[in-house]
Amino acid sequence: MEKEKTVTRQTTNVKDICYIAIFTAIIAIMAQISIPLPGGVPLTLQTLAVPLAGIILGAKRGTLSTLVYILLAMVGVPVLAGLSGGIGVVFGMTGGFILSFPIMALISGLVSDKGVKSPIYWLGLLGGVIINYIVGTVWFVIVADSTFAVALGACVLPFIPTAVIKLVLSGILGDTLKKAMHKANLL
Protein backbone atom coordinates (compact mmCIF):
# COMPACT_ATOMS: atom_id res chain seq x y z
CA MET A 1 0.00 0.00 0.00
CA GLU A 2 2.73 2.40 1.09
CA LYS A 3 4.78 1.39 -1.96
CA GLU A 4 1.80 2.07 -4.25
CA LYS A 5 1.42 5.55 -2.76
CA THR A 6 5.13 6.29 -3.33
CA VAL A 7 4.87 5.17 -6.97
CA THR A 8 1.76 7.36 -7.51
CA ARG A 9 3.55 10.34 -5.94
CA GLN A 10 6.64 9.80 -8.10
CA THR A 11 4.48 9.48 -11.24
CA THR A 12 2.75 12.76 -10.36
CA ASN A 13 6.08 14.48 -9.85
CA VAL A 14 7.43 13.24 -13.17
CA LYS A 15 4.21 14.33 -14.90
CA ASP A 16 4.42 17.79 -13.28
CA ILE A 17 8.06 18.20 -14.31
CA CYS A 18 7.19 17.18 -17.89
CA TYR A 19 4.32 19.66 -18.12
CA ILE A 20 6.45 22.45 -16.65
CA ALA A 21 9.21 21.67 -19.18
CA ILE A 22 6.71 21.52 -22.06
CA PHE A 23 5.32 24.96 -21.20
CA THR A 24 8.80 26.42 -20.73
CA ALA A 25 9.52 25.19 -24.27
CA ILE A 26 6.23 26.58 -25.58
CA ILE A 27 7.03 30.04 -24.14
CA ALA A 28 10.50 29.88 -25.72
CA ILE A 29 9.03 28.94 -29.10
CA MET A 30 6.34 31.63 -28.91
CA ALA A 31 9.08 34.16 -28.09
CA GLN A 32 10.53 33.49 -31.56
CA ILE A 33 7.27 34.49 -33.20
CA SER A 34 8.24 38.10 -32.87
CA ILE A 35 8.36 41.31 -34.85
CA PRO A 36 11.03 43.87 -33.93
CA LEU A 37 9.60 47.38 -33.52
CA PRO A 38 11.41 50.74 -33.74
CA GLY A 39 10.90 51.50 -30.02
CA GLY A 40 13.14 48.56 -29.07
CA VAL A 41 10.41 46.32 -27.61
CA PRO A 42 9.39 43.52 -30.01
CA LEU A 43 5.89 42.24 -30.59
CA THR A 44 5.93 38.61 -29.41
CA LEU A 45 3.64 35.71 -28.59
CA GLN A 46 5.22 35.15 -25.16
CA THR A 47 2.26 36.97 -23.67
CA LEU A 48 -0.08 34.44 -25.25
CA ALA A 49 1.93 31.47 -23.94
CA VAL A 50 2.43 32.76 -20.38
CA PRO A 51 -1.27 33.03 -19.41
CA LEU A 52 -1.89 29.71 -21.18
CA ALA A 53 0.70 28.12 -18.88
CA GLY A 54 -1.12 29.47 -15.82
CA ILE A 55 -4.60 28.56 -17.05
CA ILE A 56 -3.75 25.04 -18.21
CA LEU A 57 -1.21 24.00 -15.58
CA GLY A 58 -2.61 26.00 -12.67
CA ALA A 59 -0.90 28.64 -10.52
CA LYS A 60 1.97 26.55 -9.13
CA ARG A 61 3.13 24.67 -12.22
CA GLY A 62 2.36 27.60 -14.54
CA THR A 63 4.46 29.99 -12.46
CA LEU A 64 7.26 27.43 -12.22
CA SER A 65 7.35 27.09 -16.02
CA THR A 66 7.96 30.86 -16.34
CA LEU A 67 10.61 30.79 -13.59
CA VAL A 68 12.46 27.99 -15.40
CA TYR A 69 12.13 30.04 -18.60
CA ILE A 70 13.73 33.07 -16.91
CA LEU A 71 16.48 30.93 -15.37
CA LEU A 72 17.33 29.47 -18.78
CA ALA A 73 17.40 32.99 -20.24
CA MET A 74 19.68 34.16 -17.41
CA VAL A 75 22.24 31.43 -18.02
CA GLY A 76 22.37 32.36 -21.68
CA VAL A 77 20.05 29.90 -23.40
CA PRO A 78 18.57 31.80 -26.38
CA VAL A 79 14.93 31.51 -25.29
CA LEU A 80 14.07 35.20 -25.43
CA ALA A 81 12.70 37.09 -28.44
CA GLY A 82 14.97 37.00 -31.49
CA LEU A 83 16.82 33.97 -30.07
CA SER A 84 18.52 36.12 -27.48
CA GLY A 85 19.44 35.27 -23.92
CA GLY A 86 21.82 36.16 -21.11
CA ILE A 87 21.70 38.21 -17.95
CA GLY A 88 22.23 41.43 -19.93
CA VAL A 89 19.01 40.89 -21.88
CA VAL A 90 17.00 39.73 -18.86
CA PHE A 91 17.99 42.92 -17.04
CA GLY A 92 17.95 45.02 -20.21
CA MET A 93 15.24 47.23 -21.70
CA THR A 94 12.60 44.49 -21.88
CA GLY A 95 13.51 43.02 -18.48
CA GLY A 96 10.41 44.30 -16.71
CA PHE A 97 8.19 42.38 -19.11
CA ILE A 98 10.27 39.21 -18.73
CA LEU A 99 10.54 39.37 -14.94
CA SER A 100 6.80 39.91 -14.53
CA PHE A 101 5.86 36.81 -16.55
CA PRO A 102 5.68 34.72 -13.31
CA ILE A 103 3.14 37.19 -11.84
CA MET A 104 1.10 36.94 -15.04
CA ALA A 105 1.16 33.13 -14.93
CA LEU A 106 0.36 33.11 -11.21
CA ILE A 107 -2.71 35.34 -11.54
CA SER A 108 -3.92 33.41 -14.62
CA GLY A 109 -3.54 30.19 -12.67
CA LEU A 110 -5.35 31.54 -9.63
CA VAL A 111 -8.44 32.44 -11.66
CA SER A 112 -8.26 29.48 -14.05
CA ASP A 113 -10.84 27.39 -12.19
CA LYS A 114 -13.51 30.09 -12.57
CA GLY A 115 -13.92 29.43 -16.30
CA VAL A 116 -14.75 31.67 -19.25
CA LYS A 117 -18.22 32.57 -18.02
CA SER A 118 -16.92 34.22 -14.87
CA PRO A 119 -16.03 37.95 -14.84
CA ILE A 120 -13.39 37.15 -12.20
CA TYR A 121 -11.62 34.94 -14.73
CA TRP A 122 -11.39 37.75 -17.27
CA LEU A 123 -10.55 40.37 -14.63
CA GLY A 124 -7.70 38.14 -13.43
CA LEU A 125 -6.31 37.68 -16.94
CA LEU A 126 -6.63 41.41 -17.56
CA GLY A 127 -4.91 42.11 -14.23
CA GLY A 128 -1.96 39.94 -15.30
CA VAL A 129 -1.66 41.84 -18.59
CA ILE A 130 -1.85 45.23 -16.85
CA ILE A 131 0.82 44.28 -14.29
CA ASN A 132 3.04 43.03 -17.14
CA TYR A 133 2.71 46.38 -18.92
CA ILE A 134 3.17 48.49 -15.77
CA VAL A 135 6.33 46.61 -14.69
CA GLY A 136 7.60 46.51 -18.29
CA THR A 137 7.07 50.24 -18.83
CA VAL A 138 8.46 51.44 -15.49
CA TRP A 139 11.49 49.16 -15.98
CA PHE A 140 12.00 50.54 -19.50
CA VAL A 141 11.93 54.15 -18.17
CA ILE A 142 14.63 53.31 -15.64
CA VAL A 143 16.90 51.13 -17.81
CA ALA A 144 16.57 53.11 -21.05
CA ASP A 145 16.66 56.37 -19.06
CA SER A 146 13.66 57.58 -21.03
CA THR A 147 10.61 59.67 -20.25
CA PHE A 148 7.22 58.09 -19.59
CA ALA A 149 5.96 59.54 -22.88
CA VAL A 150 8.71 57.77 -24.84
CA ALA A 151 8.15 54.58 -22.84
CA LEU A 152 4.42 54.65 -23.59
CA GLY A 153 5.24 54.83 -27.30
CA ALA A 154 7.71 51.95 -27.05
CA CYS A 155 6.06 49.68 -24.49
CA VAL A 156 2.30 50.19 -24.54
CA LEU A 157 0.65 51.96 -27.48
CA PRO A 158 1.83 49.68 -30.32
CA PHE A 159 0.72 46.61 -28.40
CA ILE A 160 -2.84 47.49 -27.37
CA PRO A 161 -4.71 45.81 -30.29
CA THR A 162 -2.68 42.58 -30.12
CA ALA A 163 -2.82 42.56 -26.31
CA VAL A 164 -6.63 42.48 -26.52
CA ILE A 165 -6.52 39.66 -29.09
CA LYS A 166 -4.02 37.67 -27.01
CA LEU A 167 -6.07 38.17 -23.85
CA VAL A 168 -9.27 36.86 -25.45
CA LEU A 169 -7.46 34.04 -27.26
CA SER A 170 -5.56 32.85 -24.17
CA GLY A 171 -8.75 32.97 -22.11
CA ILE A 172 -10.83 30.92 -24.52
CA LEU A 173 -8.10 28.57 -25.73
CA GLY A 174 -6.72 28.01 -22.23
CA ASP A 175 -10.10 27.14 -20.74
CA THR A 176 -10.98 24.83 -23.66
CA LEU A 177 -7.65 22.98 -23.57
CA LYS A 178 -7.68 22.72 -19.79
CA LYS A 179 -11.16 21.17 -19.78
CA ALA A 180 -10.25 18.78 -22.63
CA MET A 181 -7.05 17.71 -20.87
CA HIS A 182 -8.87 17.15 -17.58
CA LYS A 183 -11.49 15.09 -19.37
CA ALA A 184 -8.74 12.96 -20.94
CA ASN A 185 -7.18 12.63 -17.47
CA LEU A 186 -3.98 14.27 -18.72
CA LEU A 187 -3.56 17.00 -16.10
Ligand X SMILES: O=C(O)CCCC[C@@H]1SC[C@@H]2NC(=O)N[C@@H]21
Exactly one of 65, 66, 132, 170 binds ligand X (CB under 6 A); which one?
Answer: 132
Q: Does 98 bind ligand X (CB under 6 A)?
A: yes
Judged by CB under 6 A, the residue of 23, 24, 39, 47 near ligand X is 47
Q: Are 55 and 23 in contact (CB under 8 A)?
A: no
3-state DSSP assignment of residue 34: strand
Among 94, 108, 137, 170, binds ligand X (CB under 6 A): 94
Question: Cα–Cα distance between 68 and 20 in angstroms, integer?
Answer: 8
Among 30, 31, 103, 154, binds ligand X (CB under 6 A): 31
Under rule CB under 6 A, residue 53 binds ligand X: no
Distance CA 76, CA 141 (A): 24
Candidates 20, 27, 30, 41; binder of ligand X (CB under 6 A) is 41
Distance CA 181, CA 185 (A): 6
Alpha carbon of 14 to those of 17, 63, 66, 152, 179: distances in Å? 5, 17, 18, 43, 21
Q: Which is nearer to ligand X, 86 or 114 (CB)?
A: 86
CB of 80 to ligand X, least distance (A): 3
Q: Would you tell me which residues interact with ligand X (CB under 6 A)?
A: 31, 41-44, 46-47, 80-81, 94, 97-98, 132, 136, 159, 162
